[in-house]
Amino acid sequence: MVDLVSQYEKIKPSIDEAIQHVIQNAHFINGPAVNRFQLDLQEYLGVGHVIPCANGTDALQIAMMALGLKPGDEVITPSFTYIATTEVIALLHLVPVFVEVDPQTFCIDPKAIEAAITPKTKAIVPVHLYGQAANMNEIMKIARKNGLFVIEDSAQAIGSDYHLEDGRKVKTGTIGDIGCTSFFPSKNLGCYGDGGALCTNDAELAKKIRMIANHGQEQKYVHDVIGCNSRLDTIQAAVLHVKLRQLDNYIDARREVAAKYDEAFAGIPGVKIPFRADDSKHVFHQYTLILEDADRTALQDHLLEYEVPSMIYYPIPAHKQKMFSHFGSSELNLPTTDWLTERVISLPIHTEMLEEQQAYIIEQVQSFFNQH
Ligand SMILES: *Cc1c(COP(=O)(O)O)cnc(C)c1O
């Protein structure tokens, strides 16, 4: 699905030097590269504060802790997402309230958010799924009207631009109270292990986040609040410092692959190519088709036979996972989520896709539809 080896080969000298530098100085924890990367990312995102942490799941958890959410508080989230988004809600003894997504964008449906608000609702966690932003203009209006926090899960959409109603163009993850992202190797900005970050424009909140990520301390051995140990390794920060300079090129490369797929698949009956929303620049973490009228398993088998990988993100929606059975969420009626779960399929997309590789993948997809 991705080609991280070829990507590394192209930036090998800078990466190797950056890693060697960390090792030779034994700056493994909180070395200078961490702060350097943090400042770079702040500038890239145009945000007041970036707080690096150990992974994207931690980022979400720390965000909910920093906002002071209490056991029993309800958090509205899509069911059609990676499990991490919803898992941390339950881990903190908050109540996940699963709602529908928009069938075109795959992202949380603002109307469904409004319908799910109760006196216990405290926060909304929109997920910018596959690399395209949720409808943040509407979501922020709903949040302000109802006094709710917004935590953006931007793990799949780092670098994506969003057009606010006031005309400003901002990066996804910088719109709500806190944005969370992941540097898992296959993410659009990936490191060589685990990594993550939070961002916010609120200085007080940034201070709290930093404390929580560091055992609840501001001053060494003085612990004011319950926290955790969530750091970005210096080696990972050094890798990210190099790779951040490539992020816009990486996004362009992904968008080029997506455009070629679009052209090849637009005319296939029963197949829907990814929708491009007006307000968001799609950064194509995934290229995901909807098979409105085609046998998905047969297509996957056909592709496998020709050694073309494909993936289903995600085969079981969160509300149907056993881990949430005590919330009774499997009884929920989320037809759009169920419909998408049964019909989406993601094809290989990455920054190093060669023209002939993509032509081969396209040929195999087309040959399936010519036979069926
Ligand atoms: C990857 C991902 C996460 C979690 O990130 P990790 O770094 O793997 O913990 C959270 N949410 C979404 C939508 C993701 O894709």
Give pLDDT tens digits for 80-139: 999 999 999 999 999 999 999 999 999 999 999 999 999 999 999 999 999 999 999 999
Q: From 3.40.50.460, 2.40.30.10, 3.90.1150.10, 3.40.50.300, which CATH number describes the 247-371 domain?
A: 3.90.1150.10
Q: How far is CA 301 from the centre of its chain?
A: 28
Residue limits of CATH 3.90.1150.10 in the chain: 247-371
Give the Cα separation of 228 and 334 in Å (integer). Answer: 35
Question: Across residues 228-236, what is the average pLDDT?
Answer: 98
Q: Residue 372 above 90 pLDDT?
A: no
Q: What is the pLDDT of residue 185?
A: 98
The predicted pLDDT at position 133 comes to 98
**Which residue's C-alpha comes closest to atom 6 of ligand 1?**
56
Report the nearest-CA residue for atom 3 of ligand 1. 56
Q: Mean pLDDT across the chain, nearest whole number?
A: 97
Using DSSP bridges, classify how beta strands 95-99 and 74-78 pair: parallel, antiparallel or unpaired: parallel
Q: What pLDDT is stored for residue 152 in this prediction?
A: 98
Mean pLDDT confidence for 237-266: 98
> Are the CB atoms for 229 and 5 separated by under 8 Å?
no
Residue 155: half-sphere exposure toward Cβ, Cα within 13 Å: 25
Range(s) within the chain of domains with CATH label 3.40.640.10: 4-244
Mean pLDDT throughout 231-238?
Answer: 98
pLDDT at 160 over 90: yes
By the 10 Å C-beta count (0-12 exposed, 13-18 middle, 19+ buried), 151 is classed as: buried
Residue 168 reports pLDDT greater than 90: yes
Q: For the range 303-308, what are the long-range contacts, defined as Cβ-Cβ under 8 Å and sequence gap of 24 or more?
A: 303/364, 303/365, 303/368, 306/360, 306/364, 308/347, 308/348, 308/360, 308/361, 308/364, 308/365
> Which residues, judged by CB distance below 6 Å to any ligand atom, belong to the binding site of ligand 1?
55-57, 81-82, 84-85, 127, 153, 155-156, 182, 184, 194, 196
Q: Which CATH architecture has domain 4-244?
A: 3-Layer(aba) Sandwich (3.40)
Q: What percent of the chain has pLDDT over 90?
A: 99
Average pLDDT, integer, range 255-262: 98
Q: What is the pTM of this model?
A: 0.97
Q: What mean pLDDT is predicted for residues 311-332?
A: 95
How much is the pLDDT for 241?
98
Instruction: Copy the structure tokens of residue 95.
Output: 């109540």
Q: If you ran DSSP here, which 8-state letter would residue 274 be given?
A: P
Name the token pair of 144: 């302000």
